[in-house]
Amino acid sequence: MGDAVTTVAIVQARMGSARLPAKVMSPILGVPMIELLLRRLQRARRLDRITLATSIDPRNVPLAAHVRGLGYDVYLGSEDDVLDRYYQAALASRPDTVVRITGDCPLVDPEIVDRVVDAYHAEGAEYASNTNPPTYPDGLDVEVFSFRGLAQAADQARHPFEREHVTVFLRESGCFKTVNVTSALDSSSERWTVDEPEDLEVVSAVFNHFSPRIDFGWEEVLALRQSRPELFEMNRHISRNQGAVLTPEQKIQKRAERHQSR
């Protein structure tokens, strides 16, 4: 990496998940899930720096300490205003370009990250993603946007939903040129993210299959899905982006119902 910091990936993660508490520190292959995510992400060629953005909630202390111990920058900000937390994390280095990755996506693919960054620059966009509409599996989401746009969103976004979900203003305000990156094969029905215990079982099975490698690509996982479909059955009943449409109370209720059923 050069001295100039032009592109920063900010990984958004915290320990207070309502549906699967402390999921980002859940062990896979003997290490916390967040560590596998970061080790995969650092293989992206278009990134100059990776930062973890988490909140000041004391529950995040072990997460922040572990990630700092791996040599990454960590920013602790607002628990409720996620957009401000994200902006403040980016403000530390004032990059030209910000790449948003969420901490529940340990199968993040560095080649897809590079592809979305390249499309962002090639199209002269201010916001690029591979999710509008999605064609890649859930769990490979990448968003790329300008620091200027992020600053504008942090200043102008007013609705609580916009403050909680970071990029809503960038995507939907009409103020920014946007571009979407698609795959030749629509695999958007595949679920490789970690929000529920069943998701963790599926992702753990994938890592265990490829172990000791952690540099496998998303198409290798797709091939595994074809050859070993039973490894992916546990979470087939969960819809894409379910967390974005559930209220915090609904998430807690789902967790309580799950515990009662055991």
pTM: 0.88
- Write out pLDDT tens, residues 115-167: 999 999 999 999 999 999 999 999 999 999 999 999 999 999 999 999 999 99
Is-contact 108 101, C-beta < 8 A?
A: yes
Residue 8, classified by CB atoms within 10 Å of its CB into exposed (0-12), middle (13-18) or buried (19+), is buried
Number of domains in the chain: 1
More confident residue, 63 or 17: 63
Question: Given a cut of 60, is residue 262 above it in pLDDT?
Answer: no
Instruction: Report, as an integer, the average pLDDT of 208-232.
Output: 98
Q: What is the CA radius of gyration of the chain?
A: 17
Three-class SS of residue 138? strand
Domain encompassing residue 172: 1-262
Q: Of 114-118, 191-195, 239-243, which range is least confident?
A: 239-243
C-alpha 155/C-alpha 137 separation (Å) is 32
Instruction: Report, as an integer, the average pLDDT of 184-202.
Output: 96
Q: What CATH number does the domain containing 207 carry?
A: 3.90.550.10
For residue 11, what are the β-bridge partners? Answer: 52, 101
